[in-house]
Every structure is written in C-alpha cells, then in structure tokens.
Structure 1
Amino acid sequence: MAQLHDLEPVDSLKDPGEPKSAARILAAIRQAEQAFLDYQDVCDRIDRVYARKDDYRSGEWTDPDYDLFWASMEILKPAVYAHAPQPVVTPQFKDRRRLQNLTAEILERGTTVALLRAGIDEVMTGVRDDLIFYNRGQMWVTLEDGRDGRRISIEHLDRKDFLHEPARKWADVGWVARRAWMTREEMRKRFAAHSGEAFKHASTSVRREDQALGGADGSRKAGVWEVWHKRDNRVYWVAPDAPFILDEGEPHLELDGFFPCPRPAFGTLRARSLMPVPDYLRYASHFSKINQLTARLYLLLDRVKMKGLIPAGGDIGTAVEQALHSDDDELLIPVPAAAMMESSGNFVVWLPLKDIADAIQGLIGARGQLFNDFYQLSGISDIMRGASQAQETLGAQQLKSQYGSVRVRGKIDELQRIACDVTKISAEIMAEAFGPELLLEMAQMELPRKAELERRAKAIEDAAEKEMEAIGRQAKAMAEAAKAQDQEIEPAAAEQQLQAAQQQIISKYAVQLRQIAEAVPIEDMMTLLRDNRARGFAFEIATDSTILTDEIAEKASRNEFLTAFTGAAQGLMSFASLGQEGAKMAGEVLRFVLAPYRAGRTLNAVIDEFVDAAPQLAAAQAGSSGLSEAEQSMSAANQKMADAELRKSEAAIAKVQADTAKTQQEMQFKVAEAQTKAQQEGQRLQLEMAETRGNLAEQARRIEKIGADIQLAFARLGIERRAEQRADVKTAAEVVGETHRNLTNPDVIPAKAGIQL
C-alpha cells in the first residue's frame, strides 16, 4: 500500500483542457480508496467477527469461542454515548446585550428542533458504533426543500461512503466526498438538466449489502460521489465509468469550514496521518488465544466421561480406541480377562480422569490471566463490568470507576466534539438559508418588525403630545380664570407646577418608549445571523454532555453547588452592604466561585442578571436612586412638585390656625360680653323684685282691709252665713299670705323665677 506522505495532493480536480471531464475527480477518489484499502479490510474482518457471519453461512449454532469482543463492545457503547446532545448557544461575551441574547436564544431553540427532526440520536448512535469498532465515525449535513418547507438533514455515513484527501492533519484536507446510491431514474431526475444523458454511462449493480439483506426489489444502483473541493471552491457530482461530470457549481452553502461535514470522530490514528487504527488489532491476539483455550476446554470437558474396561473378551488396543472415540457418557468395554488381570489385577479398569481435570484447571487459569490482560489493555475495569469485591471500600470502587472512565474519555470527547461541530454547521445553515418566519416558528417565539415598533412609538409620542397640549390649555384656562377673579398668580410657582405636570406625563410614557427601544426587531436579528463575521464572533455554540449521567454523582454535584452558592452568598453579605462598589465586587466574586459548576443556561442567566443588578439594588437600599439622567430629572421635578405641595399645605395649615385663634378670641369676647350683660340684667331684676315686693306688701294691706270689711259684712248678714264666709275669706287670706312670704324670701324667689344672680 502506498504511504500517505507519498501521495501527491491534487491542486485542482478540474481538467483545464477538458472542463467537463470527470477523469481527475475519479482518479482522486480511486487514489483515496487505495490509501484506505487495508483499513477497510480490517473493518470488514471486524464486522464478520462481531456479527458472526461465518456462523450464519455455515448454519452451525455451536459456540466454541468465548465472544469477549462482542461483550466488550456492548459494555463500551453506553459508557461512551447515552443520550442525544442538547445544543447550547450563548453570546461570546456575557455583557447582557439584548440583541445578542435574544438571537442566541432563538438560534438555540431552532437548532434544538432541527436536530430532533433530523433524528440526531440515531445518527449519533451510528457514529458511536463506528468510533468504537473502527476508530472513525462521520456524519453529513444537507439542506433539503420538502413539502413542509426547508429542513436540516443529518446523515450518518457508512465508512465506505465517505472519503477525504489523504493528509497528515485535517487542516490540510483539500476535499471531502460522500457517496449516495441512486437508481438510473433518480439520476435522470437529478442530473439530466445539467449533463444530459451522461448518467447513463454510470455503472450500476445490486449492492452487496442489499443482497445480504435479501434485496427487496433487486434494483440496480450507481454510487454517485458528491465532492467538495476547497481549493476549487466547487462541488462536483461524478459516478464511476461516467466520463463526464454529472453536475458542478459553487457551494450552495456558505459555511465557515467550507465542508458540509465536521471533522470525523477519530480514535487512534497512525502517526502523522489521518489513517485510523482499529482497537481490534490490539486485542486480536488475546481474542485468538482466549478462543483457542476455550475450544480446548470444551474438548476436554467432552472427554470427562465414565469409561472403563471389564474382563470378557476382545483385543485391548481395540477396546481402548473404542473408549476414547465413543460419545457415550457411560461405557464398559470387554477385553481379554487374562490380559486385564495381568495388567491391573482388577475386574474393572476405569480410564484416568484426574489428568484431564488438572488440564482443565490449568486452561481455566491461563484463560483468566488473558482476561485480566485484556481488561488492563482495553481499559474496561471490573467496576465498569459490574464486578466488585465485598471488602473493597467506596473510595477504591470510585477510583476504579474513574480509571475506567479516563480510558474511554478520548472517545467521549470526540463524540461530544463532533456533536458540537455538527450543531455549528446546522446553525450556520439555518442562519443563512432559513427565513425569519421559519426561525421564529421553530423557536416558538415572536418578534416585531421595525415598522411595527415605529408605529407603536409614534402612537405613544402622539398620545404624550396630546396630553402636553391638554396640560398647556388647562394652565392657560386656570390663569385666565384667576385673572378674571382678580387673583394674583405667582409666575414661578405656576411654571413649576406646569413643569411638574409635564414631567409626570414624560415619566408615564418613558417606560413604554424604553420598552420599545429595547425590543429587538426581526430585521436586526436576521442581520446579525446573516453576517458571517459578526455571527462567528458573537456566539458560542456547544452541546451538553452526551454521556450517561450518574444519578448519585449528579445529586452530589448539585448539593456541592448549593453549598458553594450558600457559603459564598453569606460570606459576601458584608461586601454587598458597602454600597455600589461593594455589591459589584461581591457579584463578581460570586460569579467567579460558581463558574466551574454546570448549573444550566437558565440558572446561569438568572445569576448573571442578579450580579448585574446587585449595584442598583445596593444603591436603592442605601437611598441612592441609581437612575439615568432623564430619570433623575423626572425625579427632581417630582420632588420639587412635592415640595411646592408641602409649602401650600403648610400655608393652608397656618391660615387655619390663624382663623381658629381669631375665632377663639371672638368667642372669649362674646362670653365676657354675655357675662356683663347677665350681671346688669341681674341687678335690674333685683330692683324690679324689690319694687314688686313693695307692691305685694301694699296689696297685702289692701287684702287685709278687704278681709276686715268682709268680716264686718258677715257680722251683719247673720251667724250661719257669717261662718261660711269666714272660711272662704280665711282661705283667700292664707293664699295671699303665702304669696307674700314667697316674694319676700330671697332663697325662694330666684328659684321660682329661674334667674341666675
């Protein structure tokens, strides 16, 4: 086989003399196939060993071999790859810019959906198997237009359907090629418009793989190679035995790495080359020896049977040969009695089994040592195989597990790297070829257009302007009304109130305008995605782990994160209380402490937002506004308005207090005046009462005189009549006398009259 460094690279696959000729391209493909011929032969041998194809063909179901290769590969599969990768798209710099963050989120969501639609798990499983068996796995990305619109197609390529220019390192590879098997009808639909009937010269056959699987329809297909040549900046389609290029053109995908495929997932490579060396070659001798020892064990075990000789007749040599070759588990063969008695002296002589048992024990020990050698060589430790000893400590078992994972870490890293690369290629294709509506539909998000944002901003500005005009008209009306009532208005206070009202309107609509200004329109997002250079510098695309997660280790890791977060948060409280600078330093230290932990994109974003907001929170707690200049102006205007209102309230309170004092003085004056009047009225009443007493005395004297006159009259009228009249006169006299006494008593008269003296 020609060495890779002996193969001269082809500067151009295009023949300048015959531009439509496919000779150079086909020659380069044959050269690459020849370079990888030995590798493909080893891989074919691995397929036969793993799939036991010889047993299928022979129809034998006996298993004389110890199938350690199959068992080892089945152990490695879940250890290397367990679940589909999850794309993670984040801005290159965590500066919380709205456009970059929102675009990254849309691209991440869209890529996640694209990978799921493309069946990334099945593709990764195929790459994993190729990497484990052959130390090379590859996939290919294609943009397809279907009835449901554009979509990303990711294919796992068979090891024989992928070729690249032989080189020492991937950066030196000038072209890559993938083979698609097509019928003549498929070739006619695809290439007839570009190269006419050139496809008819392509050699077709029923593929060996189809024959092995029964050949569903027996259709004949040709292997059409799609070649991407970096130096030519062209894509060629050629087929064996077809002398002309079936199709060619500039790359229909503008990719940063030019090729629509990532660097293959490589295992062990030959020094200074991209030639894989399957691990099977390192284990083949162990497998062969183990199988030989296993076959001998089975042979000896078949010989462990109860066989003996008895005296009867026949030849001893013939009897021994019959005993050795017989398949019966129990067998007694007659031999001449005299010969048997001479040799052993026993009536029954059993064939010896102890030597066979010792040989079996020796073979088992030798095979066990080969097992241990293979485990050490392959890195499949006993803890990975589920084997453990009761006396081993937890630390010893964890050490074994770590050792085993380290030995396969190279393959794990390669699978994660190729998953990341294919994610980047898919994201590039989506950014270049997908429209904004399709991207938003895949991401399940909504973004406004610039025209819509401008209309919304214009509507808000118009509403604010109308309110400003209304405030102006209201102020003018109030001034005219005050002037009509001959009220004096202080110009400075009126201007201040007008400005305060205007600042309220500004603050009312400033939040809405700020939200519109911070909104990301579709046009800006697409501009960033279409810009190759900006996209490359702006985003970092990766994938989450594809390996099987240990549940216990995952819980321990999360508990460790929580402990680190809690400890750091409590330890930094003193710094956070020192104001903006202290909060900023505490936030950066917290971010540094939590950086090694894979907390997830959402939690990391929340932590970043909290750290960014820490200085403002500290400023708010310390009494500092921490606002922008416009917001500070509005706040100052509001404060001035509040001060003016406070002064107005204080003036109103002072007026109320003065009015209250005046009212109290008036009430006190009225009370004093009332008291004076009451005293004067009392004196007048006393005089009137004295006069009344005199009048009553005069009336009493008159009554007494009348009484005397009546008594004299009674005397004249007769004794009976006189007695009755005397009683009546006495009663009247008593009433007059009581009235006189009451009027002359100073303690009774006021109470009767109801006057306070």
Structure 2
Amino acid sequence: MPENTDAQSGTLVTPEDAGKGAPGVVSRWIAELELSEKVEKNWRERAKNVQERYRDEKSQNERRYSSSNRYNILYSNIQTICPALYNQSPTPDVRRRYRDADPVGKEISEVLERALSFTMDDCDFDRYMRLAIKDQQICGRGVTRVRYDPVFSEESDEMGDPYDDLKSEEVKFQHVNWADFRHGPGRTWEEVEWVAFSHLMTRDDLRDKFGDKIGDEVELDYTPIGVEDKDGDVVADTFKRATVWEIWCNRRKEVIFISKSVKERPLKTDPDPLQLRGFFPTPRPLYATENTDSLVPVEPFRFYRDQANELDNITRRISGIIAACKVRGIYDSTITEMSNLMDAGENMMIPAQDVLPLMQSGGLDKAVWMWPIEKIAGVLNELYNQREQIKKTIYEITGIADIMRGSTASSETLGAQQLKVQFGTMRLDDMGREIQRYARGLVRLAAEIISEHFSPDSLAMMTDIKLPSPEEKMMAHQQAQMMAQQQQPVPPQLEEILKKPTWEECMQVLRDDKQRSYRVDIETDSTIAGDQAMDQKSVTELLTGVSTFITNAGPAVAAGYLPLDAAKGMLMSAVRRFKMGREVEDALDMIGEDGNGSGAADDGQQQAQQAQQMEQQAAAQAEQMKMQMEQQNSAIKAQEAQQKAQVEQEQIQLDSKVHQASLMIQEQEIGLKERDMALKEFEAQKPEPDPGMKIQADIQMAREKMEFEASEADKQRQVDLAKVIMAEFNGPEISMTSPEDALARASEIMARINEVISATREVGGMPLEETTVMVMDDDDDFIEPVLQ
C-alpha cells in the first residue's frame, strides 16, 4: 500500500488528514514518531557520544591511535554528583489530609502505605531510581514507567464454561532507556498529548502479545550490535528483534501498538487500560535542565565539554613529556669500567684497571655528562598546574566545587564547619527536590493503580490488615446492644470491630479518585540521607524540648488554665519542624485520647513511688465508686419492684370495677326489655275503655313511652361511656419505666368507672316526674297539657 506523502512531508493539519481507517491511524503515528525523532536528533547524537565517553568506549577515530589518552572527568563527576543527589530509598508516607476523626481515611492510609512499602521493596524501587538519575546526569533525561501486572488462570464454572480467574496482581516499575522514549510536541510537559515507548520483541513475544497471525506479519527489523554478518549473509532470526511502538494517546484515551513494517492496521488498540487521572503511566520525566521554550533535553556534559576536551589534551601532552623524561647521557670512552658500572647490581664494587685517566679527569662525576631534563620537568609541572585549574573550572560549572567546599578541616571552628556544610548543599537542593518530586510521582502512580485495580482479597493478603465484613459488623453491633441491655461490659475485641470500617467502605473511597485525593495525602520522605551526628543532635534537642514543655505545661493543663488540645497543638507544631516522621506525630496525637496515659516517664525512685501510691488511691476510689454504684442499682431495682407491685394492684382493682360496671349495664338492659314486653302484653289484654278512660290511658302510655325513651337514652350513654373506658383499659400496656404516669392513669380510669356506676338517669337535664305530657283527642287535636 502506498505511504501517505502528506504525512511524510509534515503538512498534516488534523490527525484525520493522515488517512481514513486503520491505515490512516498507522500513517499518522509513524509521522508523529518521525517528527519527534527529528526534533531530538541532535540531542540523541550528543547523548550517544556522552554515553560512550562515560563508559570510556573509544570512537572509530580514536581506535586508530592506540596511544590516545583521556582524563575521564565525566565518570568522576557522575560518581560524585549522583550519591549527593540520591543516596537512600524513599519511604512512602500516606496519611489523612486533615486531622479529623475519619476511621475510613485512617484505614485506607494504612492500607496504601503498607501496599506501597511492599511494592517498593519487592520491585527494588531504589534500583530504578538510580537508573533514572544516571540517565538524567549522563543524557539529560530519565524516564521510569509503572505497570499493572495481573496473573490469571483458566478455570471452569459449574456449567463447564471456561473463565479467567485472578490469581495474583502486582505493580511493577520499569526503566525506560533514554533512546526508547518519544513524546508529542510541547514547550512544557502539560502540553504533551502522547508518549511512546519502544520495545524489542522476538517472534514468540509477538505471537504471545498480538496472536499468531499478526505476530508472523511483523518484520524483525532490529539486529543487535556485534552480530552483523561480515559477508552480507542474512543473520538468523534467533538473534533479531522487531521494533514495536507502544503509544499512549491522552486525547483519545487509548493505547496503540504499531510496527513500521505493518502499515495496514495497528497491531493492537486498548482503551485506557489503567484508568489513571493523568493517563500516562509515567510522571513528568526527570530533566537535568528545564526551561519553558522546549522539552528537548540538554546533557549536563555539554556545559563543560570544551574544558573536558582541553583536559584531555593536557593529559596527552603530560603523557608525551613523561615518556621523554628518561635517564640518558654520555661518558669518557677511555674509562672502560663505565659500561660495567652501568650494568652492575646493588652493592657491587667494580675494580679499576687504569686509575691514572680517572684521576686526571677529576673523578667519576667529571667523566659522565647526563641529558638535561630540568627544563622538561619544569614544563611538566606547569602542565600539572594547568590541569588542576581546568578541573576547578569544571567543578565550578557542575557544582562539585560546592560539595568540596562543604568538606571542612578539623582545625576549623564549629561555626565555620556548619556554614560550609550548609553552603555545600544549597546549590544541589534544587536538583534534590526535583528527584524527590519524581520519586513521589512514581509512588503516587503506584498507589493509584493499587486503588483502582487491586481486589480486597489481594490488599488484605498484601497488607495483613483485618477489616470486618458488613455481616460481621452487624452481628457485633447486635451483640453490643444485647450486652448493653444486660449491663455487661463490651469486650475490647468487639469494640475494635465496631470502630473499624468494612472493606466495602474502604474500597468505595479507594475506587473514587476525588474522594481518595480529598481524604488521603501521599508523600515520600527524603531521598538524601542526613549526617548521623546532626541527626543525633536534632533528636536529643527534640527530646529535651519535649520533656521541658511537658514539665512546664503539665500543671497548667491539669489546673484547666491551658486546654489539652492547645498544648498538643503547640507540641505538634514544634515536632513537625524536626520531621521525625508519622510515628512520632501519631504517638503525640494519642495523648489524652484514652484517658489513662501518663504524662512523662519518671526520672527517680521517689516519682515512681508517688505514681504507685496514686495508682493505689485511684484503684481504691474506683472500688468504692463501684460499690456505691452497686448499692444505687440495688435501691433502684427495689423501688422499681415496689412500683410494679402497686401498678399490678391498681390493675386488679380496675378489672373488678370494669366487671361490676359491665354487670350493671347488662341488668339494666334486661329490665328494660322486660318492662317493654309487659307493656305490650298489657296493651293487648286490656278491654276497650270509654272515652274518658281512653284519655287517661293515652296519657299513661305517653308517659311510659317517654320514660322508656329516656331510659334507652340513659342506657346508651352509659354503654358508650363504658365502651370508651373499656377501650382505654384494654389499650396499650402502661409502661413500667414511669410508675408515676401509670398510677395517674389508673386513678383516672377508676374515677370514670365510678362516674358510670353512680350516674343518675336524666333526660334533657330534668327528672321524669316533671315531664309535661301532651295528649291528643280522636280528631288529632291537642288537649290542654297535663303536668304529671
């Protein structure tokens, strides 16, 4: 397939201009890689030469002259600067961002810190940091990437269908060689939209990664140096590799694998495999020199290359002059013993055959004339002095002179020594902070991968942290409630379970980028080891200050003049300046939390005895308070029993009253029914009365009717009232926890029952005897009322 000419000429406006479909994707990324390589071409050539110089590998021109000498100042500088910038592996420091009571934040901080500590130890984090720093100081840029490596095994479910079962997972660090890294255009790292890593893969690697079909299509285009065929024959594939580019595109959030030999399609495309906030699997690279104009690295050797070359020239001249400085001379040939004298051994005397010529010449020293080398030695001394001057210039450029100034003599005063040590580290502080930033970035990437991808089982196994499940916490809560109702103390193990969050609660925060960032801060301690004597002095000063502060502030806290939180805040502010670590700060934070911690250690036997006496007094007071509490509990229980018996007696009386009222109501109903039946029988059996008698009978009937209706109304009122009282009595049981309310309610119910029993029978508010009866005649006309 023909290549895209626009991509090769660099006239693309958008990624789509490289072509459509899969071939367009490959064409676009090949153009991006070639453009990145052109931008960094000069630097890559210089970096390769610096690498060879550091390794003391002679170039092709130097190989022609076996006498070529070099003063490898580069190797010396690298071996001096690197330990000054980084000489100990950092320790992860994960803690809550805010000092609030946050059990979940505290647990996830502990989980992440333990997981990171294991990962850094298991993967040899220190080695990868040293490799990155070495690339930074030699070539100008160091890169390290972070990988997520899960291990799966094929299993079968109950139906026999295969599935991948997660066996283990880990985070790994990988050093990226300076020649195998590319990135997109940008003046600062924030403008970079893609990064790429080069891989050399064998045929088996290609098949395992991309499948047999695609793996066989890729051309093995890389041959290791040293296995070229001198006769032009093809080198066997066993020694060849394929160059595969792994491209992380931040704009599209995907990872593309391409090979320049396969232009029809990408080898593989993965959508955002790590789910990182910054997307890239590497922090901002470790640059030796940074500016805001370009991201092209600058090797530090470039700044003193001319001085290093001059140093090499002087070294070669010194070697030549030393070769010329030989013991040579001439002697009088008439002295035949002179040749034997030059070859004679140690402590050996040679007899003279003819003494007269030797005496005439004035002695043996007058018969020998040596080759003059005094002027040559003077030139040699000047060359040595000039070489030292050049070295000093190089040290000033690189900053090694500041390290050397930090070296003090034993005869100097303490103040002078401290000033020199302080000044000797000032210039390297900036580079040291950049290395600490890089280490912190790698640790944070590892923490993010652990939080996003690790399962709770893997975290529990890695960190050895025991957290309850929701079911266990619910059972513990129910058990604690039962023990509280029974007035039993809760065991410490149960309290610990109730205080700890569950794995589900912790994983919910770990999986959320925002919550994790808001609640947890991930840092690393210093990557530069301090002076042991200075550390010991700082610790001694800290302990002395803490002891003095507690001694002076203790009485004020005990008297209530100084709040405990204020005293702890003042103490923590001083301790944080010494950077003693989280363990010390956490220990000081626990002061006053449990209420049984002592202030400071006793210094003498008298203080120990006083502490023992105070402990005994406290134990006696606690025992006395315990007995008083038991007595109070017994009195309360007796009072509750008495009130309960009284309430039960009232209930019995209520039952009797209610039963009595119910019987009276039944008797009244029966009597009314009997009177109604008797009246009806009387009406049916009496003879037909005369008119006068009829009027009297009507009056009597009306009167009895009104009496009956009034009795019915009275009966209904009593029945309704009784029903209300019965409903109240048979309602919810009176709570035994408030005896006064129970007695008041019982008294009210009894009063109402007595009201029902003693109620008078009234109709309209007046007795029946005073009721006016209206009588009608046969023509339905009212007769004059008769007052009965």
- TM-score under structure 2 normalisation? 0.64
Taking only the aligned residue pairs, the percentage that are identical comes to: 25
Q: Give, in whole Å, the separation in 1 of the partners of 2:236 and 2:103.
A: 55
In the alignment, is the contact (CA less than 8 A) between 1:297 and 1:363 conserved in 2? yes
* 1:304 matched residue in structure 2: 325
In the alignment, is the contact (CA less than 8 A) between 2:147 and 2:172 conserved in 1? yes
* 2:36 matched residue in structure 1: 32
Q: Give, in whole Å, the separation in 1 of the partners of 2:53 and 2:129.
A: 23
* 2:297 matched residue in structure 1: 276
SS at match of 2:239: coil
1:353 aligns with 2:373: yes
In the alignment, is the contact (CA less than 8 A) between 1:118 and 1:153 conserved in 2? yes
SS at match of 2:328: strand
The CA deviation string for residues 483-542 of structure 1, in whole angstroms up to 9 with x for no partner, is xxxxxxxxxxxxxxxxxxxxx34xx34977754431211111111111111011111111
The CA deviation string for residues 1-20 of structure 1, in whole angstroms up to 9 with x for no partner, is xxxxx999986489562245
1:184/1:531 Cα in 2 relative to 1: closer, same or farther (>3 Å)? same
Q: Using the TM superposition, give the Cα deviation of residue 575 of structure 1 relative to its aligned residue in structure 2, in angstroms.
A: 3.3
In the alignment, is the contact (CA less than 8 A) between 1:7 and 1:166 conserved in 2? no
1:178/1:303 Cα in 2 relative to 1: closer, same or farther (>3 Å)? same
* 1:17 matched residue in structure 2: 20
In the alignment, is the contact (CA less than 8 A) between 2:572 and 2:585 conserved in 1? no
1:557 aligns with 2:538: yes
1:242 aligns with 2:246: no
1:440-519 alignment to 2 at 5 Å? 440-462=460-482, 467=486, 504-505=487-488, 508-509=489-490, 515-519=496-500
Q: Using the TM superposition, give the Cα deviation of residue 139 of structure 1 relative to its aligned residue in structure 2, in angstroms.
A: 0.5
Q: Using the TM superposition, give the Cα deviation of residue 123 of structure 1 relative to its aligned residue in structure 2, in angstroms.
A: 0.9
* 1:632 matched residue in structure 2: none
Q: Alignment partner for residue 208 of structure 2, among 165, 171, 189?
A: 189
Q: Using the TM superposition, give the Cα deviation of residue 143 of structure 1 relative to its aligned residue in structure 2, in angstroms.
A: 0.9
Contiguous gaps of at least 5 residues in structure 2: 1-8, 153-166, 230-234, 335-360, 600-623, 639-788
Q: Using the TM superposition, give the Cα deviation of residue 164 of structure 1 relative to its aligned residue in structure 2, in angstroms.
A: 1.1
In the alignment, is the contact (CA less than 8 A) between 1:110 and 1:439 conserved in 2? yes
* 2:123 matched residue in structure 1: 118
1:647/1:389 Cα in 2 relative to 1: closer, same or farther (>3 Å)? closer
Q: Give, in whole Å, the separation in 2 of the partners of 1:254 and 1:589.
A: 42
In the alignment, is the contact (CA less than 8 A) between 1:575 and 1:586 conserved in 2? no
1:78/1:640 Cα in 2 relative to 1: closer, same or farther (>3 Å)? closer
The CA deviation string for residues 225-258 of structure 1, in whole angstroms up to 9 with x for no partner, is 1111111111111112220211113111111111
* 1:133 matched residue in structure 2: 138
* 2:179 matched residue in structure 1: 160
Q: Give, in whole Å, the separation in 1 of the partners of 2:420 and 2:508.
A: 52
* 2:444 matched residue in structure 1: 424
Q: Using the TM superposition, give the Cα deviation of residue 569 of structure 1 relative to its aligned residue in structure 2, in angstroms.
A: 2.3
Q: Using the TM superposition, give the Cα deviation of residue 44 of structure 1 relative to its aligned residue in structure 2, in angstroms.
A: 0.7
Larger displacement relative to structure 2 (572-581 or 262-271): 572-581
Q: Give, in whole Å, the separation in 2 of the partners of 1:10 and 1:134.
A: 33
Q: Give, in whole Å, the separation in 2 of the partners of 1:609 and 1:7.
A: 64
Q: Alignment partner for residue 92 of structure 1, among 88, 97, 106?
A: 97
In the alignment, is the contact (CA less than 8 A) between 1:162 and 1:178 conserved in 2? yes
1:393/1:364 Cα in 2 relative to 1: closer, same or farther (>3 Å)? farther
In the alignment, is the contact (CA less than 8 A) between 2:214 and 2:267 conserved in 1? no
1:44-123 alignment to 2 at 5 Å? 44-54=48-58, 58=63, 64-123=69-128
SS at match of 2:526: coil
Q: Give, in whole Å, the separation in 2 of the partners of 1:562 and 1:11.
A: 65
Q: Using the TM superposition, give the Cα deviation of residue 584 of structure 1 relative to its aligned residue in structure 2, in angstroms.
A: 2.2
* 1:586 matched residue in structure 2: 567
1:8/1:522 Cα in 2 relative to 1: closer, same or farther (>3 Å)? farther
Q: Using the TM superposition, give the Cα deviation of residue 93 of structure 1 relative to its aligned residue in structure 2, in angstroms.
A: 0.7
SS at match of 2:262: coil
SS at match of 1:446: coil
AA at the equivalent of 1:153: K
* 2:504 matched residue in structure 1: 523
1:728-747 alignment to 2 at 5 Å? none
AA at the equivalent of 1:52: D
Larger displacement relative to structure 2 (346-355 or 552-561): 346-355
Q: Using the TM superposition, give the Cα deviation of residue 614 of structure 1 relative to its aligned residue in structure 2, in angstroms.
A: 7.8
AA at the equivalent of 1:47: Q
1:566/1:300 Cα in 2 relative to 1: closer, same or farther (>3 Å)? same
Q: Using the TM superposition, give the Cα deviation of residue 359 of structure 1 relative to its aligned residue in structure 2, in angstroms.
A: 1.1
The CA deviation string for residues 320-357 of structure 1, in whole angstroms up to 9 with x for no partner, is xxxxxxxxxxxxxxxxxxxxx9xxxx976544322212
Q: Give, in whole Å, the separation in 2 of the partners of 1:50 and 1:351.
A: 40
* 1:631 matched residue in structure 2: none
1:381 aligns with 2:384: no
Q: Using the TM superposition, give the Cα deviation of residue 92 of structure 1 relative to its aligned residue in structure 2, in angstroms.
A: 0.8
1:285 aligns with 2:306: yes
1:118/1:647 Cα in 2 relative to 1: closer, same or farther (>3 Å)? closer
Q: Give, in whole Å, the separation in 1 of the partners of 2:286 and 2:148.
A: 22
1:269/1:512 Cα in 2 relative to 1: closer, same or farther (>3 Å)? closer
Q: Alignment partner for residue 590 of structure 2, among 595, 602, 609?
A: 609
In the alignment, is the contact (CA less than 8 A) between 2:255 and 2:270 conserved in 1? yes
Q: Using the TM superposition, give the Cα deviation of residue 464 of structure 1 relative to its aligned residue in structure 2, in angstroms.
A: 5.7
SS at match of 2:51: helix
Q: Using the TM superposition, give the Cα deviation of residue 419 of structure 1 relative to its aligned residue in structure 2, in angstroms.
A: 1.2
1:457/1:271 Cα in 2 relative to 1: closer, same or farther (>3 Å)? closer
Q: Give, in whole Å, the separation in 2 of the partners of 1:105 and 1:564.
A: 30
* 1:667 matched residue in structure 2: none
The CA deviation string for residues 542-563 of structure 1, in whole angstroms up to 9 with x for no partner, is 1122223321122122122223
Q: Using the TM superposition, give the Cα deviation of residue 433 of structure 1 relative to its aligned residue in structure 2, in angstroms.
A: 0.9
In the alignment, is the contact (CA less than 8 A) between 1:583 and 1:615 conserved in 2? no
1:510/1:15 Cα in 2 relative to 1: closer, same or farther (>3 Å)? farther
Q: Alignment partner for residue 233 of structure 1, among 246, 253, 258?
A: 253
* 1:472 matched residue in structure 2: none
Q: Using the TM superposition, give the Cα deviation of residue 589 of structure 1 relative to its aligned residue in structure 2, in angstroms.
A: 1.3
SS at match of 2:529: coil
AA at the equivalent of 2:39: A
SS at match of 1:176: strand
1:347/1:517 Cα in 2 relative to 1: closer, same or farther (>3 Å)? closer
Larger displacement relative to structure 2 (382-391 or 553-562): 382-391
1:557-706 alignment to 2 at 5 Å? 557-579=538-560, 582-610=563-591, 642-643=631-632
In the alignment, is the contact (CA less than 8 A) between 1:55 and 1:61 conserved in 2? no
AA at the equivalent of 2:511: R
1:415 aligns with 2:435: yes
AA at the equivalent of 1:600: G
SS at match of 1:142: strand
1:272/1:351 Cα in 2 relative to 1: closer, same or farther (>3 Å)? same
Q: Using the TM superposition, give the Cα deviation of residue 411 of structure 1 relative to its aligned residue in structure 2, in angstroms.
A: 2.7
Q: Give, in whole Å, the separation in 2 of the partners of 1:256 and 1:349.
A: 84
AA at the equivalent of 2:454: F
Q: Using the TM superposition, give the Cα deviation of residue 394 of structure 1 relative to its aligned residue in structure 2, in angstroms.
A: 4.0
1:583/1:108 Cα in 2 relative to 1: closer, same or farther (>3 Å)? same
SS at match of 2:58: helix
Q: Using the TM superposition, give the Cα deviation of residue 376 of structure 1 relative to its aligned residue in structure 2, in angstroms.
A: 1.7
1:398/1:66 Cα in 2 relative to 1: closer, same or farther (>3 Å)? farther
1:145/1:645 Cα in 2 relative to 1: closer, same or farther (>3 Å)? closer
AA at the equivalent of 1:304: C
AA at the equivalent of 2:142: G
In the alignment, is the contact (CA less than 8 A) between 1:91 and 1:538 conserved in 2? yes
Q: Give, in whole Å, the separation in 2 of the partners of 1:112 and 1:14.
A: 48
AA at the equivalent of 1:17: K
SS at match of 1:306: coil
In the alignment, is the contact (CA less than 8 A) between 2:220 and 2:240 conserved in 1? no
